Structure 1
Amino acid sequence: MEWKSFWEGSKDLSTLALVIRAIILYIALIVATRMMGHRQVGILSGHNYLVAAGIVSLAAVRMVSPESSLISGIVIVFVYAGVNVLLSYLDTKWPRGIDRQPTVLMQGGRLLKANLLDCHVTLDNLLGQLRLKGAHNLSEIDTIVLEPYGKISVVKKPEALPVTRKQMNLPQQPAALPTILIYDGVIDEVNLHQLGLDHKWLLTKLGEQGITSPQDVFLVMLETNGTVYISV
């Protein structure tokens, strides 16, 4: 393998050389993404989106074109990443100067037509986003805000909000996450003991479903409301 052609590109590169170039470029993309942090993964602003689109386009060209320079591709990837990190830093210092601002699309239960037109949001777009938020009736909504990253936030009217345990004077339950007890036939001993449970309790729960052995179960999960979810 001729290293100059490998790094600078050549139409005579072998398949092995193309594979190695693609692996190197992929690793560079991973490092650059790590450098840009969680903000880039979420694409929270306009410049984050442009960097992501630019890097993906650049990587695709370098991966499929043997005549393109691998070195220049890697340099551009990290230049893009550096510019993105700089703009993200400036965005935290002067958000009004770098990024877009939230736009109110509904206030006091009334749609703001001028803001909808300014943001190019159609009624179908808006209703689709609301359905994804579980808000199906405009009459139940007080405020809608279009966030800078393209998603909407919804504030429902007080009378449309669900009743909470506090409002019903019920005892509060500690916040928790569902816990896996068995996965693919293997008991998670750490989770089981952290919950203060034992094999006897677990086998009893399995027996209630007609299951005699943990090896016959794909997933057992203890949910936050105390329900034991079992999937064979």
Structure 2
Amino acid sequence: MEYVHLVVELTIGFAALFLMTKILGKTQFAQITPFDFISALILGEMVGNAIFDQDVTIWKVLFAILVWAILIYSIEVLSQKVQNIRGFLEGRPSIVINKGKIDYNALKKNKLDLNQLQTLAREKGCFSLNEIQYAILETDGSLSVLPKHKYGMPTKEDLNIPYKPVQLPVPLILDGELEKNNLHEAGFDELWLQNQLSSQGITQYQEVLYAEWRGDEGQLYVTTY
């Protein structure tokens, strides 16, 4: 009975945290700020207390999660509407390399040493700090890099490559299941798709692991199991 109770509490806690995360939006994952990090720690502690502390019921934890979600949502709305408080809650990007020169004061302010800076730069494909014209330490701890002119990647305009329209590839079959909305969005019907598959010796959708229509190339890419 004790294990059943534990499973119930874990399930309810997981569902509540998942629902709260869906309501608050994807930025909770994509841009982890110091405030978001604190929130994650507190929410995890709440669920942990409900599981291992007999005096803390799951209803108290759900109430605490609800109150915490309201606080987080209120602060998110406040930071969107009041620009002056946004920097305090979310932090501000810092220019750590300015016009090719490393800003030691900016590194010191952000508790970043040269080894860490080199690591972040290598993740962006810059193996020498001398290649960087500007480097900005973002609020989530990542580094945005603008290389010097001679180290930058040439564009198609620089290479005089003729313009060609770019279209987003459209998945038509995923794990043997037909994506009807995507098929119609691409401008085709099932008869067309079946003919395309038949030309490759495929008779059923279930044989296909992944199928993708590339409009810019006019090709159907198919991978079977």
Please give the range of the TM-score, normalised by the shorter of the 2 chains: 0.7 to 0.9
Let me know the Cα RMSD of the aligned residues: 2.9
The yes-or-no answer on 1:21 pairing with 2:9 is: yes
Which ranges of structure 1 fall in alignment gaps of 5 or more residues?
A: 1-12, 207-211
Structure 2 gaps of 5+ residues are none
- Classify the secondary structure of the residue corresponding to 2:96: strand
Look at both structures and tell me which one has the larger radius of gyration over its CA atoms: 1
Contact 1:21/1:70 (8 A) holds in 2: yes
Return the TM-score normalized by structure 2.
0.77
Per-residue deviation, 1:57: 1.8
Does residue 127 (structure 1) correspond to residue 118 (structure 2)? The answer is yes
Distance between the aligned counterparts of 1:87 and 1:15, measured in 2? Answer: 38
**Contact 2:96-2:102 within 8 A present in 1 as well:** yes
Q: Closer, same or farther in 2 for the Cα pair 1:43/1:64, shift >3 Å?
A: farther
Deviation readout 1:66-91 (Å, 9 max, x if unpaired)? 44222221122122212212222232
1:152 Cα shift? 1.3
> Please, what TM-score do these two structures have when normalized by structure 1?
0.75
Structure 1 distance, partners of 2:162, 2:220, is 22
Q: Does 1:58 align with 2:46?
A: yes
1:109, distance to aligned residue in structure 2 (A): 1.2
- Give the alignment of 1:118-197 within 5 angstroms: 118-185=109-176, 191=182, 194=186
1:90 matched residue in structure 2: 78
Q: Is the 8 A contact 1:25 1:70 kept in 2?
A: yes
Question: Contact 1:18 / 1:66 at 8 angstroms: preserved in 2?
Answer: no
Deviations 1:128-148 (A, max 9, x none): 222222333323221111111
User: How many pairs does the alignment contain?
Assistant: 214
Q: 1:213 aligns with which of 196, 202, 208?
A: 202
Instruction: Provide the rounded CA distance (Å) in 2 between the counterparts of 1:154 and 1:14.
Output: 54
Distance 1:218 1:150 in 2: 37
Query: Percent of pairs identical after alignment?
Result: 21
* Counterpart amino acid of residue 174 in structure 1: P
Superposed counterparts of 1:33-44, under 5 Å:
33-44=21-32
Amino acid at match of 1:85: Y
Residue identity matched to 2:154: V
Q: Is the 8 A contact 1:104 1:144 kept in 2?
A: yes
Q: What letter corresponds to residue 125 of structure 1 in structure 2? A: Q
SS for the counterpart of 1:155 is: strand
